[in-house]
Amino acid sequence: MLEEKNKTLLLKLAAASVKYGLDHHQPLPINVDEYPDELRQNGAGFVTLQIDNELRGCIGTLEAYQPLVADVVQNAYAAAFRDPRFPALRADEYAQLHYHISVLNPPQPMEFASEADLLAQLRPHIDGLILSDAGRRGTFLPSVWESLPQPRDFLTHLKLKAGLSAGHWSDTIHVQRYTVEDIE
């Protein structure tokens, strides 16, 4: 669990990176050494932007490879300006943004004998999933359970997001689960 002051700092940095991006067309430059040790540790997270409770951008990292503070700053910028589902954020939208950061715990491989077995193991509102097969990969954060509360729907839509068919199943399908620490 991150300290509250560091959660607040990450939210401020996410907003600052988006603001900086509007003016400079790049993420906020930071010196990682200036931040608390907890934020200098490698971490993976997603930054979700919303306007009026509607998704406006969401970009993240599935594996921790850089300091968490750098990951959040870069993903906030990317969510605002590089999410392929949306046009780049406009200056007049900035004040309306709501920021949500999901810090990922390391993904754990799941073992299952069938799709029914996998569905029975899913923990709604707790699990985020990474599904991969046939050279395709997709993920849903635990927050997606809010709009897809049934395990079968959650899994079906995740397959579609990964570029697979809704009914896709194979012996080579690989699923990992992860939990997150939410920051709002």
Instruction: Give pLDDT tens digits for 116-126.
Output: 999 999 999 99
Report the C-alpha gap between 177 and 12 in whole angstroms: 29
Determine the residue type at 129: L
Whether 90 and 129 share a structural domain: no
| CATH number where 24 lies | 3.30.700.20
% of the chain at pLDDT higher than 70: 100
From 104, 134, 163, the end of a domain falls on: 104
What is residue 35's predicted lDDT score, i.e. its pLDDT? Answer: 98
- Please check whether residue 168 is in contact with residue 174, taking contact to mean a CB–CB distance below 8 angstroms: no
Residue 3's pLDDT band (cuts 50, 70, 90): very high
pLDDT of residue 176: 98
Tell me: do 86 and 18 sit in the same domain.
Answer: yes
Give 21-45 pLDDT, tens digit per residue. Answer: 999 999 999 999 999 999 999 999 9
State which residues form the domain around 89: 4-104
Stated pTM of the model: 0.92
Q: Residue 39 falls within a domain, yes or no? A: yes
Q: What is the Rg, in whole angstroms, of the alpha carbon atoms belonging to the chain?
A: 17
Q: Determine the pLDDT at residue 28.
A: 98
pLDDT of 163 reads: 97
Residue 15 DSSP symbol: H
Shared-domain flag, residues 80 and 132: no
Closest to 105 (Cα-Cα) out of 62, 59, 151, 47? 62
Domain boundary among 83, 104, 125: 104
- CB 61, CB 69: distance < 8 Å: no
Q: Tell me if 183 is assigned to some domain.
A: no
pLDDT value of residue 164? 97
